[in-house]
């Protein structure tokens, strides 16, 4: 059973205060895992912790800005001090953006790389010795945008491509060490990521251009992640649209570019037409 596999495992989830991260924390908590919830808002984590597990000894909340290396080091240290080991690290914390590159303040791309790419690198660096000891798993939640570029999201796509390259390399480096490295690429998932997406000047978009009710739920995304971890998968791409997009990028790239352009141009208030 899936729950038996995760029972008493120590699972760290970054970006655990909302969206996929919160759904994953709740799911692992329901399986009896010891869950470490990490995000920038400690008060929000603490208010959500009883939903993950009513037993406070099974949930550790750690205020963590993943773009800050020292925060990541301290989060890993607190995890080991509390639970004695690490079995799974889910690098989920992330930011998106929506603006044409020509209009973009470069601080936006710096911010996305700091959170998305460096956040994954920072947490993985300090968790790695413990994951190697437990022959555990490290997950990078990327996006279809980490395989096939999305217009008006240069910083987002670049950061997700970078995460994929980093984790694919890490997998090969530890091919004989029992480390499982999962590159996990959801398609469009219902979450707060588009509301919080940065615009050209770095301010939050504040609204989503998509009908969130028609997208895959965060709960379903978390469940599929758990199944992939149980099977120790290396790579997962979600949704039919996501799989077709990745296939098109590899097989018919010029046609895929045209299709992607037209698809994104249909978004509400698209920054290009």
Round to whole Å and give the CA distance between 73 and 124: 10
Coil, helix or strand at residue 9 = coil
Sheet of strand 137-141: strand arrangement? 59-63, 34-39, 10-14, 88-91, 137-141, 180-185, 235-237
Q: Which residues are catalytic?
A: 156
Round to whole Å and give the CA distance between 208 and 7: 36
Q: Which residues pair with 147 in a beta bridge?
A: none
Residues 59, 53 contacting (CB under 8 angstroms): yes
Give pairs for 101-107: CB < 8 Å, separation 24+.
Answer: 101/154, 103/200, 103/271, 104/154, 104/155, 104/200, 105/200, 105/201, 105/202, 107/202
């Amino acid at each position: 059973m899936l729950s038996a596999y995760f029972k008493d495992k120590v699972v760290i989830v970054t970006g655990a205060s909302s969206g996929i991260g919160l759904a994953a924390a709740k799911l692992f908590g329901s399986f009896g895992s010891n869950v470490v919830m990490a995000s920038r808002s400690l008060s929000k984590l603490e208010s959500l912790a009883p939903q993950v597990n009513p037993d406070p000894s099974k949930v550790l909340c750690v205020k963590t800005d993943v773009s800050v290396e020292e925060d990541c080091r301290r989060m890993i240290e607190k995890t080991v001090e509390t639970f004695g080991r690490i079995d799974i690290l889910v690098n989920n914390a992330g930011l998106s953006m929506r603006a044409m590159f020509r209009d973009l303040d470069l601080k936006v791309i710096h911010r996305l790389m700091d959170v998305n790419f460096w956040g994954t690198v920072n947490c993985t660096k300090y968790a790695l010795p413990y994951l190697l000891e437990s022959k555990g798993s490290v997950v990078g939640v990327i996006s279809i945008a980490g395989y096939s570029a999305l217009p008006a999201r240069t910083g987002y796509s670049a950061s997700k491509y970078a995460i994929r390259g980093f984790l694919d390399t890490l997998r090969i480096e530890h091919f004989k060490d029992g480390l499982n490295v999962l590159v996990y690429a959801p398609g469009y998932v219902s979450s707060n990521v588009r509301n919080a997406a940065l615009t050209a000047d770095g301010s939050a978009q504040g609204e989503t251009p998509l009908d969130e009710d028609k997208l895959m739920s965060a709960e379903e995304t978390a469940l599929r992640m758990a199944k992939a971890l149980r099977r120790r998968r290396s790579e997962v791409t979600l949704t039919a649209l996501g799989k077709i997009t990745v296939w098109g990028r590899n097989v018919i790239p010029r046609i895929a570019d045209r299709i992607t352009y037209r698809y994104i141009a249909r978004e509400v208030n698209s920054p290009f037409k």
